[in-house]
Amino acid sequence: MNRFLELDLNEMPFPPPENVIRAAEKSLGNLNRYADAESLQRLRLLLSEYAGVDYEQIIIGPGSDLLLREIVLCFAARRKVLMADPTFLPTALVARRFARKLVHIRLTPPLYCLALQALVEELDEPSLIIIDNPNNPTGKLLLDREAVENILDYADTLLVVDEAYCEFSGLTLAGMVSNHANLAVTRTLDKAFGLAGARIGYLIAGRGFLDAFPVSSSFLPKASLEAAIEALLRPGYMWRNVQSIVRERERLCEQLTALGATVFPSSANFLLVRSQITALAEELRDRGVLVKDISDQLGPGFIRVAVGMPQENDAFLEAYRSTKKRSFS
């Protein structure tokens, strides 16, 4: 048993329901076999219904981060790549290594908005834009439909919007894909559905992306596949958990603000927090609480903390109070 309270990876704290666990367990007797094409097709159909898009637009893969990696590998060698700064680091690291040219568009404090004009001024050559929406680590929604329309008007521009936290934000741009060949949206079942250990991601792809992703190349573990199908058949459990996390997110924000921290508005399942305690992540770790240290991206005192169950959030708040008392006593 881990002795730490883990609030550093933006996981859903609620375990999957029993029906999802049973569905995964039933497949374990056939681990010597690859997942069958019929089940893969069924998952694609359920994802298309859930997202409200055409079946042909759905590409599934072992995690949305790997789908993003594939997009970079397919398109970045011949294009300028533009990303927000800060952003989801694994994708940024892949782009740094493989892109012909990488441009970071720094988010503007204090609200960490995307400088849209600065971005479009870079679209003077073939470009690939990858934007997480909401942004990780700020929790800020960076794009709306009007901004996306503006970007997609530029010739020879591809836009990928990562919607890993769309269930928490309530905003999706997936419905725009059918009218824009140069738009793609990535999503995951890791977060809201609580299937991080199953690693199921999917791409809602415009025509300009589809040829790079042959559907026949989608191989997924059988247990992950069956768990995902069962979760999508009965999404009510997921939506109740999302509502609980959103309520706890707002409570946690209020409590931290009352303790003197600066808490930034979030549309995800985590909060960006700034404290006068410069080594806050280390201090909290000493008290058994893991959070993500963001000081290398935003400066001293910045952390990202995932929203947990009420008792976990209370434990985090108590650790924060103890840390503050020690630091300023």
Per-residue HEC secondary structure of 20-58 comes to: HHHHHHHHHHHCCCCCCHHHHHHHHHHHHHHHCCCHHHE
Contacts of 278 (CB under 8 A, 6+ apart): 295, 300, 301
Strands (E), the chain: 5-6, 58-61, 80-85, 101-106, 127-132, 157-162, 183-188, 201-205, 262-264, 270-274, 289-290, 292-293, 302-306
CB of 82 within 8 A of CB of 127?
yes
The rounded distance, in Å, linking the Cα atoms of 101 and 98 is 9
CB of 105 within 8 A of CB of 114?
yes
- pLDDT for 302 equals 96
CB of 12 within 8 A of CB of 268?
no
- pLDDT for 1 equals 46
The rounded distance, in Å, linking the Cα atoms of 283 and 191 is 27
User: Tens-digit pLDDT profile for the chain (329 aa)?
Assistant: 468 999 999 999 999 999 999 999 999 998 888 888 899 999 999 999 999 999 999 999 999 999 999 999 999 999 999 999 999 989 999 999 999 999 999 999 999 999 999 999 999 999 999 999 999 999 999 999 999 999 999 989 999 999 999 999 999 999 999 999 999 999 999 999 999 999 999 999 999 999 887 655 567 899 999 999 999 999 999 999 999 999 999 999 999 999 999 999 999 999 999 999 989 999 999 999 999 999 999 999 999 999 999 999 999 999 999 999 887 76
- Token pair belonging to 21: 């666990």
The CATH number fitting domain 18-233, selected from 3.40.640.10, 2.40.128.20, 3.10.580.10, 3.30.830.10: 3.40.640.10
Contacts of 18 (CB under 8 A, 6+ apart): none
- pLDDT for 36 equals 87
- Quick check: helix, strand or coil at residue 255? helix
Place of tokens 């300028």: 80
The rounded distance, in Å, linking the Cα atoms of 273 and 241 is 23
Greatest alpha-carbon pair distance for the chain in Å reads 63
- pLDDT for 215 equals 58
Among 290, 38, 294, 194, CA closest to 46? 38
CB of 282 within 8 A of CB of 248?
no
Contacts of 195 (CB under 8 A, 6+ apart): 16, 20, 189, 224, 227, 228, 231
CB of 310 within 8 A of CB of 15?
no
Place of tokens 């995932």: 306
CB of 248 within 8 A of CB of 313?
yes
The CATH superfamily assigned to 5-13+237-328 is Aspartate Aminotransferase, domain 1 (3.90.1150.10)
In the chain, the amino acid numbered 268 is A
Among 317, 295, 292, 286, CA closest to 8? 292
- pLDDT for 22 equals 97
Q: Domain boundaries in the chain?
A: 5-13+237-328, 18-233
The reported pTM is 0.95
